[in-house]
Amino acid sequence: MEDKKKPKHFRKDIIKKGLLVGGGLLVANELLTVEPLINAAEANTTTSVKPVPNSLSQEDNIIRMQRELHQALEKPIDQVHWVMVIDQKKCVACDGCTVSCISENALPPGVVYRPVIKEEVGTYPNVRRKFTPRPCMHCENPACVKVCPIAATYKREDGIVSIDYDKCLGCRYCITACPYGARSFDWGEHHTDNTPEVMPYEMEPGYEYGEARTRSKGVSPVGNARKCHFCVHRLQNGMLPSCVTTCIGRATYFGDLNNSKGLVASLVGSPRATRLLEKLGTKPSVYYLT
């Protein structure tokens, strides 16, 4: 009988010892795992942190657009066609692009180059919100150019529609002619008008079209029509437009449409791509993914 009971007690002892040994191994393992972290913390280092990979598995779109921008700048200007693509499903109406544009171009009250139009569409209860960032469309067939009496508004060889502030009379014909409402007039106002004094930051120069201009009464761009110019002063220095780099939803893309292998060319070829008021025949250079 004793021999028959012995294996039972023996098995219990084995299990107990196994649990003790296993527990000890777990504790030892935890100590081995934690010790390097403690040592690293005491040494104020990050040696225990996994290294950052040298390269990403997929190139970030901002990096790709920057690279393709530099490639486009190496070509003659008449072989480049700048376009912008805006993905409306990614836009969250944060107005980050609007604010960054105001800051980049030192815009005064009432002058906005890139508003975000917010709409409610559908029939209740099937409704949703629709957001449409609306820069200048930089049309291939621009109505604004046709009505300018002194050619102050013109289209560059790379497709950017520009304004010569030194020529502009301030007649505002172009503002009326634009079917997209993309132009504003600079009345010479400041954000800090009606305060003891205009704040110094409002007297800082803007650098539109690559020229430093300080706003003051009777001096351009005060008294001129103004609009988005795809941040041409940034393009000339190899940088993407401000609205592209500050879009938190990564909804805005920019590049050379003539680069058939480029990011924007692939997006423009999407079945989701459309342009505003295409029936007018203006042929905008801004596309929307709906």
Q: What is the model's pLDDT at position 134?
A: 98
Give every CB contact of residue 202 below 8 A, 6+ residues apart in sequence. Answer: 106, 108, 190, 191, 192, 215
Residue 24 within any structural domain of the chain: no
d(CA 69, CA 72): 5
Q: What is the model's pLDDT at position 213?
A: 94
Residue 249 within any structural domain of the chain: yes
Tokens of 84: 């912008």
Q: What is the model's pLDDT at position 59?
A: 83
Tokens of 204: 């800082």
* pTM for the structure as a whole: 0.78
Residue 28 within any structural domain of the chain: no
pLDDT in tens, 24-70: 544 444 444 545 544 554 555 544 555 655 555 678 999 999 999 99
Q: What is the model's pLDDT at position 56?
A: 56
State which residues form the domain around 130: 61-289
Please list the ranges in the chain whose pLDDT falls under 70. 1-57
| Domain count across the chain | 1
pLDDT in tens, 116-133: 999 999 999 999 999 999
Please give the DSSP secondary-structure letter assigned to residue 236. T
CATH number of the domain encompassing residue 205: 3.30.70.20
Residue 155 within any structural domain of the chain: yes
